[in-house]
Amino acid sequence: MSTPFVRHTGRVAALPRVNVDTDQIIPKQFLKRVERTGFGPSLFYDWRFRPDGAPDPAFELNRPEASGASVLLAGANFGCGSSREHAVWALQEYGFRAVLSVSFADIFYANCCQNGLLAVRLPAEAIAELFDRHERAGGRYDLTVDLEAMTVTDAAGFRATFAMEHYQRDMLLRGLDEIGRTLLAVDRIAAYEQGREA
Amino acid sequence: MNAPRPQTLVAKVWDAHVVHRLPEGPELLYVDLHLVHEVTSPQAFAGLRGKRRTVRRPDLTVATMDHNVPTDDRTRPLGDPVAAQQVEALATNSREFGIELFDLTSPRQGIVHVIGPELGLTQPGMIIVCGDSHTSTHGAFGALAFGIGTTEVEHVLATQCLVATRPRTMEVRFTGTLPTMVSPKDMILALIGRIGTAGATGCVIEYTGDAIRRLSLEGRMTICNMSIEAGARAGMIAPDEMTFEYLANRPRAPHGDAWQRAIERWRGFASDPGAPYDSGVTLDVSDLAPQVTWGTNPGMVTAITGTVPDPTSLATEAEQQAARRALAYMDLEPGMRLAGLPVDRVFIGSCTNARLEDLRAAARVVAGRRVSSRVRAMVVPGSQAVKAQAEAEGLDRVFTAGGFEWRNAGCSMCLGMNSDVLQPGERCAATSNRNFEGRQGRGGRTHLMSPAMAAAAAIAGELVDVREWP
């Protein structure tokens, strides 16, 4: 069961890199936990921290303006590679409620939906405009992501609409337990099994 | 009367598994085989327990330990206490929920995508899932097989079903005759180089063409395995006589009358002539050269005869930036020749290239030679069964006499969750599937290539064109 997502306004952190893979989002040495928690401190570990463990001031998320960011503006094909859901858990625990990109890898996108992290696909021009606005604001830039209205807006008149499959949108809006929902069809599953094993 | 509409292999397998079409669009699909490993499952089992749910079909669920297990001495307790906890959790969960487990003491233990086919669990027309992106490997048998996240693992455990939306289809046709010393790994790397790491996002790829038909099942697995590196959810190859020959008499394949019936059913899992794909790519492999990656994703690849590209030659600003970043990380300059680049480490292993034919190809290159004094090289068989068979053929002695380390089965240095990692700055010739930053160890530099190419690099101490190998 995930936290419902209806709308959210928050500080934007920009990560203008393409093909950010889940190995970067959460490096493998942090995948050994048996809980869903405890991954936030390791988010983007090799980028956030220098080899000596000190924060790397050059990394985008370490900029002072990005402190408290809850909306991640990312390059295309975000979340490619490994299926590790730990990547989504780490992003959420760090404080992100939404990720905006031109495109996401399939498994990562599905994992976002399962956990109530809103992955928003926007056209390339809109993403470019957002990166631009973020930079012009010196990184002190906030966005509102509204899943009910399916819009992304800022206080200065930016407005973009996005699409999402009805099923996934509904699951996110209501924070549904998909397993519970599927179990409502248990008779159909049993019927399928009978045919399958006949 | 109209003739029935021609269908793709993907559509046929999909349609055979629809339990229920949800009013909102996606479909509830039945899963024939659920493979489970220690890293992406503990939270799923905990979820079941928390909701007092059970595993619907433990008989269709199989577990193994592969991602974080040691590949050296495994009689001792695991050196890493956190990894040990994960391995222990899988043992406890398998026991509690009645799931068959191939643990570290089993002669059948191995990388999940190696043991599935090896046991004959993987069969044509199945839907197979696992909490691992390289589940696409099993598509080599004409199964629709894909990776899922941990919440979906829990969903499959509880319901034996998955909610999914019908994917787009892409036909990748490989034509021509593969030259000597050029391998399926080179074919798939060349494809990813052509279409990019997001080239097949949202798609299931079906591989067709005479070059695919001539490949062994092991070669086909290498190709399907890396479908995910092109962004595809899955890769598939329609089954044929070679597929049936591979599966015949495998422990978990059907036997007797059931085998005959199975083959007849399996023959139906092929795309009809004129079946509609959403997109398509054709690659002629006749002149294909061995491929080597130069960057930090599998699409950053070129022929061993090639040079490191100049980022300014790339199409978009984003690609240029990514290439500049990759070159800085890899410590390479535009225009450098890849042949002759010195390596520190060689890794022959992973679900991509650690089956018997891979080890044979590497051993043929190594035979009678020694690993360069500046290189540390290891061979990690994909499964304990592969290891035993390789030892029966004497391959282990070829490797150890040449100075390679000969390990036990596991994912090992492909993702470096155990102690098999690169040191910062080390350059590695690897037969695995991902050359992401830090994948094999923070600061480590990975060049992906075929087993024969990696073996030659170990001997030469630098990247070489294995076609010119004496």
B156, B129 contact by CB (below 8 A)? yes
Please report residues of B whose CB lies closer than 8 A to that of A58.
Answer: none
Rounded distance, CA A153 to CA B277, Å? 37
Q: Please report which helix (H) or strand (E) contains residue A197, including its range.
A: helix A186-197
Are the beta carbons of A83 and B148 separated by less than 8 Å? yes
- The closest CB to that of A103, out of B155, B198, B439, belongs to B198
Cβ-Cβ contacts under 8 Å, A33 against chain B: 82, 86
Report the distance separating Cα B123 and Cα B230, nearest Å: 24
* B442 contacts A165? CB cut-off 8 A: no
Q: What is the pLDDT along chain B (470 residues), one digit of tens a residue?
A: 567 899 999 999 999 999 999 877 899 999 999 999 999 999 999 999 999 999 999 999 999 999 999 898 887 667 888 888 999 999 999 999 999 999 999 999 999 999 999 999 999 999 999 999 999 999 999 999 999 999 999 999 999 999 999 999 999 999 999 999 999 999 999 999 999 999 999 999 999 999 999 999 999 999 999 999 999 999 999 999 999 999 999 999 999 999 999 999 999 999 999 999 999 999 999 999 999 999 999 999 999 999 999 999 998 899 999 999 999 999 999 999 999 999 999 999 999 999 999 999 999 999 999 999 999 999 999 999 999 999 999 999 999 999 999 999 999 999 988 888 999 999 999 999 999 999 999 999 999 999 999 999 999 999 999 999 87
Of B26, B30, B198, the CB nearest to A167: B26
Q: Kindly state the DSSP code that residue B4 receives in the 8-state scheme.
A: P
Contact B416 A28 (CB under 8 A): yes
Query: CB under 8 Å to B254, separation ≥6 — which residues?
Result: B261, B262
Q: Note the pLDDT of residue A176.
A: 80
Distance CA A131, CA B67 (A): 38
> Are A185 and B19 an interchain contact pair (Cβ–Cβ within 8 Å)?
yes
Is the Cβ–Cβ distance between A60 and A15 less than 8 Å? Answer: yes
Which chain B residue shows the shortest CA-CA distance from A24? B437
Nearest to A189 among B152, B161, B438 (CB): B161
Average pLDDT over residues A9-25: 97
Cβ-Cβ contacts under 8 Å, B80 against chain A: 32
HSE, CB side, 13 Å, CA atoms: give it for residue B159. 27
Pairwise CA distance, residues B131 & B110, whole Å:
16
Q: Which of B28, B151, B325 sits opposite A114 (nearest CB)?
A: B151
Residue A82 with chain B: CB contacts under 8 Å: 132-133, 415, 434
Nearest-CA residue of chain B relative to A193?
B30
Query: Tokens standing for B452?
Result: 């024969």
SS3 at position B261:
helix
B161 to A103: CB separation less than 8 angstroms, yes or no:
no
Instruction: Please name the residues in contact with A186: beta carbons below 8 A apart, sequence gap of 6 or more.
Output: B159
Number of alpha carbons in the 13 Å side-chain half-sphere of residue B227 = 36
Structure token pair of residue A50: 């220098």
* Among the partner residues B131, B201, B417, nearest to A105 by beta-carbon distance: B201
User: Which residues 11-70 on chain A approach chain B with CB closer than 8 angstroms?
Assistant: 16-19, 21, 23-24, 27-29, 31-36, 46, 51
Contacts of B443 in chain A (CB under 8 A): 51
Nearest-by-CA chain B residue for A30 = B417
Residues paired with residue B282 on neighbouring β-strands, in sequence order: B173
Which chain B residue shows the shortest CA-CA distance from A111? Answer: B149
Say whether residue A189 is in contact with chain B using an 8 A CB cutoff. Answer: yes
Structure tokens at A180: 């519970």
Nearest by CB: A82 against B133, B163, B165: B133
Per-residue DSSP letter, A78: B
Residue contact A32–B160, C-beta within 8 A:
no
CB B93 within 8 A of CB B42: yes
Report the run of H or E that residue A121 belongs to, with start and end: strand A118-121
As a whole-number percent, the residues of chain A with pLDDT over 70 amount to 99
Q: What pLDDT score was predicted for residue B2?
A: 65
pLDDT of A1 reads 52
Cβ separation A51–B424 shorter than 8 A = yes
Q: Are A179 and A123 spatial neighbours (Cβ–Cβ below 8 Å)?
A: no
| Alpha-carbon distance A13 to nearest alpha carbon in chain B (angstroms) | 18
* A176 touches B at CB < 8 Å: no
Judged by CB atoms closer than 8 Å, whether chains meet at A23 and B434 is answered as yes
pLDDT band at A157 (very low <50, low <70, confident <90, very high): very high
Nearest residue of chain B to residue A109 (CA atoms): B149
Contact A76 B318 (CB under 8 A): yes
Query: Which residue in A has a C-alpha nearest to residue B168's C-alpha?
Result: A106
- Name the residue among B43, B83, B436 with its Cβ closest to that of A36: B43
By CA distance, what is A183's nearest residue in B?
B159
Whole-complex ipTM: 0.95
Q: How confident is the model at residue A52 (pLDDT cuts 50, 70, 90)?
A: very high
Angle separating helix axes B217-225 and B184-195, nearest 10 degrees:
30
> In 3D, which of B123, B149, B170 has the Cα closest to residue B10?
B170
Cross-chain residue pair B20–A188, CB shorter than 8 Å:
yes
Q: Give residue B34's pLDDT.
A: 98
Rounded to whole angstroms, how far apart are CA atoms A80 and B196? 12
The confidence score (pLDDT) of residue A198 equals 75
The whole-angstrom separation of Cα A73 and Cα A98 is 9
Is A165's CB within 8 Å of B149's CB?
no
Look-up of token digits 């949202």: B202
pTM above 0.80, yes or no: yes
Q: Is residue B87 within 8 Å of B78, Cβ to Cβ?
A: yes
Instruction: Write down the number of H helices and E strands in chain B.
Output: 15, 19
- The DSSP code for A161 is E
Which of B233, B415, B442 lies at the smallest CB-CB distance from A46? B442
Under 8 Å CB-to-CB from B355, ≥6 apart: which residues? Answer: B114, B218, B221, B382, B386
Residue written as token pair 């999940």: B112
Q: What pLDDT score was predicted for residue A122?
A: 98
Report whether B460 contacts B371 (CB < 8 A).
no
A21 contacts B133? CB cut-off 8 A: no
Distance from CA of B366 to the nearest CA of A (A): 31
Q: Output the six-digit token pair for B140.
A: 């080599």
The two tokens of residue A128 are: 């470019």
As a whole number of angstroms, the distance between CA A171 and CA A174 comes to 5
Closest chain A CA to residue B87: A32
Q: Nearest-CA residue of chain A relative to B421?
A: A29
- Show residues of chain A in contact with B201, CB under 8 Å: 77, 103, 105-106
Contact check, Cβ <8 Å, B161/A178: no
Angle at CA of residue B155, ends B150 and B158, nearest 5°? 125
* Minimal Cβ distance to A46: which of B43, B67, B437: B437
Dihedrals φ, ψ of A15, to 5°?
-130, 80
**Residues in chain A, total:** 198
Q: Which residues of B touch A19 (CB under 8 A)?
A: 197-198, 297, 322
Say whether A193 sits in a helix, a strand or coil. Answer: helix
Least CB–CB distance from B40: residue in A29, A83, A185: A83
**Residues of B whose CB is below 8 A from A36:** 43, 46, 150
In the β-sheet with B144-147, what is the strand arrangement from edge to edge? B100-102, B61-64, B33-36, B127-130, B144-147
